[in-house]
Structure 1
């Protein structure tokens, strides 16, 4: 079997498996997930984790989830510490030179666990270092910082000096964890949980993590495709050749998308800014509405696999006097977004949700790539840019440098 024939075979087999899934979908609803209707940005995920580890949470399981959490991470808290714990979201750090908020703060008996949640966002300058300053000042019996990132990457040198990060890591004060690293803890939570409704929700959370952060698709489909490949050496060889071409295929499609966006933008008098990056993470597409503009509309990938992307406006930090007004203006127009040191407003896209109805995960879904191939992706990005232009322009944020 040659490689082209292999692709035809995969297409036919996938269609057959999809038809079989469709027959059982009415009873099983395999595509349903409550996370499709939830805010799954940094704040939403922090709220969910904080709820799980809260001894007073509506899950009604007391401190059992928090106790399992500290044991999973090797934090030497006793059950009595877990039972007395208080959970605060977006906890303020008022005594620091630069005011910050800790995503999730767990306090008990003079001890604390701070969770810095980074599913997509980049570090801010001295952010992790400042959190340790706060923990050292306020919790003499011990403060721990869990740096929860998309795939287990630690804080940047921009956020904490490497030698300090190493010292904190060696002392077990800094614990770096990827989202997939939460799965054993969640499995333990399910084994401890006595409420079937909560058990089912935790299971959905596990599935969400596997799909978003580990790139897993439908297990049944994957297993059956793999079984089909390994039954024939020629099919296996062709399948491996197809897999080897995947990165080149995606790169070719990204180039096509860039050309399509450039053409569409030029038709409106806009400019697609050139971008030279050695990595996929933080790469993307930036559209400048006018030659003197400070703000630009941007679609950006959050990791090397393109399993997360976000969109919004870039080019302005918290020190700019227009930072908050721009963020508030876009929140009024498009709903709540996130902010960081170069963006007053951005968020992840969702299918069927304005202003950019596309998939967030380009690694786990073939929909974005099919949209590039059939020419429908660039018009969606341009339409989103137009909606931002129409909000920003009347307020004077387009066509001039901001004071």
Structure 2
């Protein structure tokens, strides 16, 4: 009996401790909220705008970033700095080839920068080439920009062989991943790397040594125009925030809470409990917002495309941290299915919104096909090509395409749901708001062009009705 009483006493004490910790968390949040509001009144936001960046108003997908890099490298561009930025790039390159040593002597007339350098006969396109002419012949710096996308089969090998054919030994292909890594083996086999080591360099967006971040910092040092220097600083900050530091690390609220906890260590246990609760709380909010979007699109679709909306399906899936598991899709029951696919819900073409990283972040939207080109039958590849043509005919011209996406675009606004979870929760409660309108209007603009285009090619009874 005594043992039983001891067990009950221990359980009572454990329960009291648990309730005390819960009350501590509640007090911590209640205490912190008004202090945080007061701190905002004296924050440097109005005078310094530490979160402002011109890149929030620019395209920051692969094409947009390639244009920025190409423009900075171009001595004829409006930055007015001549070859200074190109020379700065050579300075940060690891072990630059000997033929680059004479670059400082080159005139601007001898340098030509080409964004999206097309290779004949379907060889693809190199994101940026810098052609340099001299008395000893032509040379080339080429850039393959990979901030987000995967490597394509034999892509790097194809570019290296093309450059060798055009420039002999006087070329260098510079690979731009988000962080230091080699291209995938299917693009640049390990067995080939030693053979091409004199003509290939890796320059990630972020890194202590050779990186775009370091190049942009060097460009600031040699830049003579304050307006351009400010843009270079924004570009460097973008690289850090997008590919290195967590975006929250520059959030004034986070910095304030960090300082508050450093000054009040007794609150660390409560802060840890709140930290541990963040992911499940975020997932609850984001799942609810995704379902809120589905309902809003489903309702609005009836007004936008009244002739086909009656059998449109709008569905969503939220998988939390699992990569590629968060998305919202629009399709029609009478579009043709693609063969040999396991999931019944993913056998047709569809308009989609999809996150491309772990968690509900880095979103794209566009027109998706459920099979990659390499696994399609000849008939399916023919349909895919016809849909691509029909999409353009109906006015859809998103900037990117891939094996899985006929057209797509990286979102440059509201891209990180981690950062806007509180706003998402508010819009769910209110039944809508500016973020809801951004997503609903964007997807319906795509649907307005894509549904008629896909109807022309994929409607199952199309052949019967025309007979």
Q: What TM-score, normalized by structure 1, do the two folds share? A: 0.80
Structure number with larger C-alpha Rg: 2
The CA RMSD measured in Å over matched residues stands at: 3.6
Compared CA separation, residues 302 and 167, structure 1 to 2 (3 A):
farther
Match in the other structure for 1:229:
261
Shift of 1:50: 0.9
Change (3 A) 1:315 1:237: same
- Aligned counterparts of 1:126 and 1:276: Cα–Cα separation in 2: 34
Quickly say closer, same or farther: Cα 1:300–1:190, change in 2 above 3 A: same
- Tell me, what secondary structure is at the counterpart of 1:183? helix
Question: What SS does the corresponding residue of 1:347 show, helix, strand or coil?
Answer: strand
Q: How does 1:273-288 map to 2 (within 5 A)?
A: 280-288=322-330
Residue 321 (1) aligns with residue 379 (2): no
Tell me if the contact between 2:356 and 2:362 (Cα under 8 Å) persists in the aligned partners: yes
**Per-residue deviation at 1:243?**
2.4
Give the CA deviation at 1:253. 3.4
> Taking structure 1 as reference, are residues 380 and 184 closer, same or farther at Cα in structure 2, changes over 3 Å only?
closer
Per the TM alignment, residue 48 of structure 1 is displaced from its structure 2 partner at its CA by 0.8
- Whole-angstrom CA distance in 2 between matches of 1:127 and 1:103: 12
Partner of residue 200 from structure 1, selected from 212, 220, 230? 230
SS of aligned partner of 2:401? strand
Query: Where does residue 138 of structure 1 map in the other structure?
Result: 166
Separation in structure 1 between the aligned mates of residue 148 and residue 356 of structure 2, nearest angstrom: 6
Asked whether the 8 Å contact 1:132–1:145 carries over to 2, the reply is: yes
Report 1:14-25 matches (<5 A).
14-21=36-43, 25=46
Is the counterpart of residue 304 in structure 1 residue 358 in structure 2?
Answer: yes
Q: 1:194 to 1:15 in 2, by over 3 A?
A: same
Could you tell me whether the CA contact under 8 Å between 1:168 and 1:174 is conserved in 2? no
Deviation at 1:102, TM superposition (A): 0.7
Q: Is the 8 A contact 2:352 2:367 kept in 1?
A: yes
Q: Distance in 1 between matches of 2:360 and 2:318?
A: 17
- Cα distance change of structure 1 residues 175 and 315 upon mapping to structure 2, 3 Å threshold: same
**In structure 2, what is the Cα distance between the partners aligned to 1:198 and 1:379?**
34
The offset of 1:89, in angstroms, is 0.6
Q: Which of the numbers 64, 67, 71 marks the counterpart of 1:44?
A: 64
Cα deviation code 1:289-315 (max 9, x no counterpart): 212434211112232355421111111
Change (3 A) 1:115 1:249: farther
The verdict on how the C-alpha distance between 1:232 and 1:115 changes in structure 2, with shifts beyond 3 A counting, is same
When residues 115 and 202 of structure 1 are mapped into structure 2, their CA distance, relative to the original with a 3 A threshold, is same
- Provide the rounded CA distance (Å) in 1 between the counterparts of 2:152 and 2:318: 22
Contact persistence 1:299–1:311 (CA under 8 A):
yes
1: distance between equivalents of 2:27 and 2:191? 54
Provide TM-score, normalisation by structure 2: 0.70
Match of 1:126 in 2: 154
User: Given that residues 73 and 83 in structure 2 are in contact (C-alpha distance below 8 angstroms), is that contact kept between their aligned partners in structure 1?
Assistant: yes
1:277–1:283 Cα contact (<8 Å) kept: yes
SS for the counterpart of 2:455 is coil
Compared with structure 1, are the counterparts of its residues 176 and 59 closer, same or farther at alpha carbon in structure 2 (3 Å cutoff)? closer
State the alpha-carbon separation in 2 of the partners of residues 7 and 363 from structure 1: 19
Q: Distance in 2 between matches of 1:277 and 1:103?
A: 33
**Would the alpha carbon gap of residues 392 and 176 (structure 1) be closer, same or farther in structure 2, given more than 3 Å must change?**
same
User: Does residue 417 of structure 2 align to residue 362 of structure 1?
Assistant: yes
The match for 2:449 among 368, 391, 395 is 391
Deviation at 1:344? 2.4
Question: Deviation of residue 286 (structure 1)?
Answer: 4.2
Structure 1: 5+ residue runs without aligned partners?
352-358
> Is residue 55–residue 85 contact of structure 1 (8 Å, CA) maintained in 2?
yes
* Matches of 2:228 and 2:312, distance apart in 1: 50
CA contact (8 A) 1:152 1:177 kept: yes
Structure with greater helix percent: 2
- Give the whole-Å Cα distance in 2 for the aligned partners of 1:11 and 1:152: 40
Following superposition, the deviation at residue 189 of structure 1 comes to 1.0
Instruction: Select which of 88, 104, 119 maps to 1:93.
Output: 119
Q: Distance in 1 between matches of 2:265 and 2:196?
A: 47
User: Structure 2: which 5+ runs fail to align?
Assistant: 1-20, 300-308, 336-347, 374-380
Change (3 A) 1:40 1:327: farther
The structural deviation recorded for 1:364 is 4.2
Q: CA deviation at 1:68?
A: 1.8
After superposing the two structures, state which structure 1 stretch, 186-195 or 311-320, moved more. Answer: 311-320
Separation in structure 1 between the aligned mates of residue 357 and residue 423 of structure 2, nearest angstrom: 16
